[in-house]
Structure 1
Amino acid sequence: MSRDKVASGIAGLDQVLDGGFPRNRITLVEGAPGTGKTTVGLQFMLAAAERGERALFFSVAQSEGELRMIAESHGMDLSKIWVRSSEIDERPEDSAISVDSSESSLAQLVHDVTEAINTVKPDVMVFDSLLELRLLSSGSVAYRQNLLALRQQIRQAEVTALLLDHVADDPASGHEQGILHGVLKLEAILPPIGSMHRRLSVVKMRGSKFREGYHDFRIRSGGVSVFPRIVPSENDRGSVTLEQLGIEDETLSRMLGGGLEFGTTALIAGQAGSGKSTLSTLFARQAALQGKEAALFLFEERPEIFQARSSSLGMPLEESMKSGNLSLRHYDPTEVSPGEFCRDVVAAVEHGARVVVIDSLTGYLNALPDRDNVLTHLHTLLQYLARQGCLVLVTLAQKGLLGEPPVSELETSYLADSVIILRQYAHRSQIRRSIAVLKKRHSVHERGIQELVIRPGAVEVIELSPEAAESAQAAQEMTGA
């Protein structure tokens, strides 16, 4: 890390800030109540203390007891941090310093801040929060003067500082962004269903690189985790040879022109029960058996049900999972943000995954309120994975049952290099499945329609008889991919 930066104590945030907060500079951390400002400040302090630096947390907004309660909920130990709070400390033997802010005038508060800095001589500090400073000031002009005075004290002490503040419509607010060196904004959005969606952005950071845009984050037991926005060009491996994933099934291999290429995305679309998950599992298992790692991200089936179903179809996954060549991860779509999901996929690739399966895109997107932005996240993720030489398989459920035209609410075919269409159709007294390769950019492929057979102990593609082909063709002619 650069000597000009101080680590935030949050790995993802350090990525966003290109190494951390600017050293000996003041950064404003603003957000509504509950967005995680205090937790970010505590993690910053703890990281500094672990490095052997002197850390001061000056809180006017919360008592020392309240700060310790927050810290304990995350398993944080504040014994190495100097805390100045708004109540008289009941344990004088403690290393903390406390202030009775209920009796303090603004002048007294400024004096207490100065005394704390001179006494502790901190390397890093947090001031929580500017709201109280604003309320104690007689007006907008006075607040600006007091803020400038606070900035001057911190600068003279050569401290790397975070000033926490509530986002407000108060006309006295707004001076901070122009006066201070950097601004980090935290936001929390409550969706109609599911957990809070939290995101942050760097409004400015003078003279310092940072990653622009919104970055999702989550508050868990242990603190804040930040998931930096994916940039497709990061860690670009340069030119990628379009090596194919070979397929044992001769008919399917021939339909695909030999197989699917690494560095591309394949979309498997079809109605309910047409075999999308089964076909994607066949590809992933084929990769694992060839010694290439595959990571499956499930949004509909639980892993134990997925494994049992795969085994019943002659595709046991246990051995590949034990060897580390295949992994399963299940998500509740309402509990994971797009940024967190994208970073989990990136982490799997960084650990060696060459094949990535997302099953299903429909289950994921239907649970999220901001669908358009999620598609942008996904498009960015797919571009990144292509640059890493991964083969990505995405399943898409289409509406409509047997005999009904299939409909896709989402326009996703532009995301894919290959598109495989699955259908169900009636033939005599049976319901059968058909398969066709609608699109394939990187090799010649067959455009015929064949039968996908899914039965106990086996999954295979067989050539249709002329009679059955007529029924299958009628089903495949219905668009909606």
Structure 2
Amino acid sequence: MKMTQDDEGEKHVPTGISGLDRILIGGYPAGRIMLVEGAPGTGKTTLALQFLIEGARRGKKAMFFSIAQSHLELDMIAESHGFDMSQVDTLTPELGHDGSSRVFSVDSDQADLVGLMDELNRELDKHKPDLFVFDSLLELRLLTQQETHYRRELLALRRKLREIGCTSLLVDHLEPQWGERNAEGIVHGVIKLDSVTPPIGVVRQRLTVTKLRGAPFVQGYHDFRIGTGGMVVYPRVIPKDAEPVTMEEMLEPSHDGLRDMLGGGLEFGSTLLIAGQSGTGKSTLATVLASDAGKRGLTSAMFLFEERTAVLRQRSRQVGIELAEQEEHGRVLLQHFDPAELSTGEFSNAVLSAVNEGARVIVIDSLSGYLEALPDQSHALIHLHTLIKHLAMREVLVIVTISQSGLLGEPPATQLNSSFIADSVILLRQYESNSEIRRSIAVLKKRQGDHLRNIQELVIRPGAVEIRHVSAETEKRTKSESTLGGS
């Protein structure tokens, strides 16, 4: 068997998709046969092309044998992604076409099947590829008259590929009505692709590895997206895989009032939940903390689901929080997401990318906006909890805002049981005083260390964010005791 020992070299062959390499713990097993299954349009051909093109780029001989798509169709797919197919040997015998060149027909007898397999064997002997893709087993299945004949052809193909010693992908259409999955039993590993079209938003695409003999892999479903440039896979987040970092123990707010209420600050590796009704200052308070981290040379990444980045910058500037300079120096990163246009896996990997690039404070504003815009909320909170556990193990401070229903005079409420994700909870409220609507702030919970349990007034005014004692002095608008974002 012609198994190469270079590169990573002896055990794995890169898939051409970094996320899939991570799921397979290095790539496809070298010299083995993998089965890629999925319904039409799920990305099987794109996945296969990326495998061959990456191999060709690394100097490997790559061969694509397709009876499912024509040479022109493959070129169109490659061109749409900007792939260079010039170093990939592509063969596309056209079944059912009469002409001077040798062709084969789907509805022909067994002799045509034998002819097709003879052609494939000759091409394999001629090219002796390092990497090989056969697309697809559906057409091979249609050419056979009995299931036993189909399995016999699969075994013959496996024997030939083993003789050549190439790393191979067999592409197949996943159709339940075909009954027993003969191909799954003769291959080394199986990758299944599927997609779900929600009532609103883009198609949700995911893959899972259902089999990989004698090798570890990341189990479960993993989201992916196909766009210009090919397939991008987002491995699911696993908390135990986090690699802790060593850093200071606590983020200490730069202003006395908030620092005192939090018992000195917020521990890295913990989660703060800021809850309140609309207009109570949740986003502003989260921005204050992100800005404080930036002033200490740490990077904060804010993921916005309700407010556009330009609006947040403008509002922050009006209350004395200047983000422009911190953004310029990479201390504050702002990203706006439309939940209807991305999957939970894609969001989780965007957060992890920010952390991998140095972010030590993550702000999610808001959890309510994120969940309410998702077409499928059934497992979103579990995904988020898993992500937060992973970030905690990497000693990242996570700040999450959540909106509560209820207007002035109504008891606030939320439909989400999100307190289990939080180590600390700040509660913001609105109340009426002397014909004015004011805001209050209180720290309800802090697992690590003590904190103040009194209620204070939160004042958000032009040029500053302030905390004041709720007292007679506050009613008379006396001088504030502490300022949180301006002068």
Class of the TM-score when normalised by the shorter of the 2 chains: over 0.9
In 2, distance between residues paired with 1:15 and 1:324? Answer: 28
Does 411-420 or 371-380 show the bigger shift? 371-380
Deviation of 1:249 after TM superposition, in Å, equals: 2.4
Q: Which residue of 1 aligns with 2:485?
A: none
Q: Which residue of 1 aligns with 2:326?
A: 320
Deviation of 1:134 after TM superposition, in Å, equals: 0.7
- Conserved? CA contact 2:456–2:467, under 8 Å: yes
Q: Which residue of 1 aligns with 2:390?
A: 384
In 2, distance between residues paired with 1:226 and 1:190? Answer: 18
Deviation of 1:461 after TM superposition, in Å, equals: 1.0
C-alpha offsets along residues 385-430 of structure 1, whole Å, 9 cap, x if unaligned?
1111111100001111111121111111010000001111111211
Query: For residue 338 of structure 2, what is the amino acid of its counterpart?
Result: D
Q: Which residue of 2 aligns with 1:472?
A: none
Deviation of 1:170 after TM superposition, in Å, equals: 2.8
Find the partner of 1:37 among 19, 25, 44: 44
Helix, strand or coil for the counterpart of 1:372?
A: coil
In the superposition, relative to structure 1, how do residues 120 and 99 fare at CA in structure 2: closer, same or farther (>3 Å)?
Answer: farther
Q: Which residue of 1 aligns with 2:146?
A: 139
C-alpha offsets along residues 205-225 of structure 1, whole Å, 9 cap, x if unaligned?
001111111111000101000
C-alpha offsets along residues 360-381 of structure 1, whole Å, 9 cap, x if unaligned?
1111111223323111111111
In 2, distance between residues paired with 1:231 and 1:443? Answer: 28
In 1, distance between residues paired with 2:203 and 2:375? Answer: 12
Query: For residue 66 of structure 1, what is the amino acid of its counterpart?
Result: E
Q: Which residue of 2 aligns with 1:191?
A: 198
C-alpha offsets along residues 144-164 of structure 1, whole Å, 9 cap, x if unaligned?
111111111111111100001
Find the partner of 2:33 among 26, 42, 47: 26
Deviation of 1:11 after TM superposition, in Å, equals: 0.3
C-alpha offsets along residues 311-362 of structure 1, whole Å, 9 cap, x if unaligned?
1110010000111111101111111111111111111111111111011111
- Conserved? CA contact 2:468–2:474, under 8 Å: no
Find the partner of 2:103 among 74, 97, 100: 100
Helix, strand or coil for the counterpart of 2:156?
A: helix
Helix, strand or coil for the counterpart of 2:239?
A: coil
- Conserved? CA contact 1:154–1:161, under 8 Å: yes
C-alpha offsets along residues 194-215 of structure 1, whole Å, 9 cap, x if unaligned?
0011111100100111111111
In 2, distance between residues paired with 1:52 and 1:115? Answer: 23
In 1, distance between residues paired with 2:287 and 2:93? Answer: 59
Q: Which residue of 1 aligns with 2:448?
A: 442
Q: Does structure 1 residue 422 correspond to structure 2 residue 433?
A: no
In 1, distance between residues paired with 2:410 and 2:297? Answer: 41
In the superposition, relative to structure 1, how do residues 242 and 412 fare at CA in structure 2: closer, same or farther (>3 Å)?
Answer: farther
- Conserved? CA contact 1:125–1:160, under 8 Å: yes
Q: Does structure 1 residue 230 correspond to structure 2 residue 226?
A: no
- Conserved? CA contact 1:276–1:395, under 8 Å: yes
Q: Which residue of 2 aligns with 1:371?
A: 377
In 2, distance between residues paired with 1:185 and 1:156? Answer: 26
**TM-score normalised over the length of structure 1:** 0.93
In 2, distance between residues paired with 1:101 and 1:361? Answer: 57
Q: List aligned pairs for 1:91-240, cutoff 5 A.
A: 100-102=103-105, 105-237=112-244
- Conserved? CA contact 1:294–1:325, under 8 Å: yes
Q: Which residue of 2 aligns with 1:17?
A: 24
- Conserved? CA contact 2:222–2:234, under 8 Å: yes
Deviation of 1:467 after TM superposition, in Å, equals: 9.4
C-alpha offsets along residues 244-282 of structure 1, whole Å, 9 cap, x if unaligned?
211122222111101111110000011111111000000
In 2, distance between residues paired with 1:32 and 1:221? Answer: 21
Q: Does structure 1 residue 272 correspond to structure 2 residue 282?
A: no
- Conserved? CA contact 1:143–1:172, under 8 Å: no
In 1, distance between residues paired with 2:205 and 2:400? Answer: 26
Q: Which residue of 1 aligns with 2:81?
A: 74
- Conserved? CA contact 2:201–2:375, under 8 Å: no
- Conserved? CA contact 1:227–1:343, under 8 Å: yes
Deviation of 1:79 after TM superposition, in Å, equals: 0.7
Does 198-207 or 78-87 show the bigger shift? 78-87
- Conserved? CA contact 1:251–1:463, under 8 Å: no
In 1, distance between residues paired with 2:444 and 2:349? Answer: 31
- Conserved? CA contact 2:67–2:94, under 8 Å: no
Q: How many residues are aligned here?
A: 459
CA RMSD of aligned residues (A): 1.7
**Identity in percent:** 52
Query: For residue 367 of structure 2, what is the amino acid of its counterpart?
Result: L
- Conserved? CA contact 1:264–1:391, under 8 Å: yes
Query: For residue 339 of structure 2, what is the amino acid of its counterpart?
Result: P
In 2, distance between residues paired with 1:384 and 1:127? Answer: 39
**TM-score normalised over the length of structure 2:** 0.91
In 1, distance between residues paired with 2:218 and 2:320? Answer: 46
C-alpha offsets along residues 158-192 of structure 1, whole Å, 9 cap, x if unaligned?
11000011111233551111121100011101111
In 1, distance between residues paired with 2:34 and 2:151? Answer: 16
C-alpha offsets along residues 11-70 of structure 1, whole Å, 9 cap, x if unaligned?
000000000001111000001111100000000000110011100000010000000000
- Conserved? CA contact 2:25–2:216, under 8 Å: yes
Helix, strand or coil for the counterpart of 1:170?
A: helix
C-alpha offsets along residues 119-138 of structure 1, whole Å, 9 cap, x if unaligned?
11100110000000111110
In 1, distance between residues paired with 2:247 and 2:356? Answer: 19
Helix, strand or coil for the counterpart of 1:203?
A: strand
Unpaired stretches in structure 1, ≥5 consecutive residues: 89-97, 470-481
In 2, distance between residues paired with 1:339 and 1:99? Answer: 47
Query: For residue 349 of structure 2, what is the amino acid of its counterpart?
Result: R
Unpaired stretches in structure 2, ≥5 consecutive residues: 1-7, 96-100, 476-487
Helix, strand or coil for the counterpart of 2:59?
A: coil
Q: Which residue of 2 aligns with 1:93?
A: none
Helix, strand or coil for the counterpart of 2:177?
A: coil
Q: Does structure 1 residue 56 correspond to structure 2 residue 56?
A: no
Helix, strand or coil for the counterpart of 2:149?
A: helix
Helix, strand or coil for the counterpart of 1:437?
A: strand
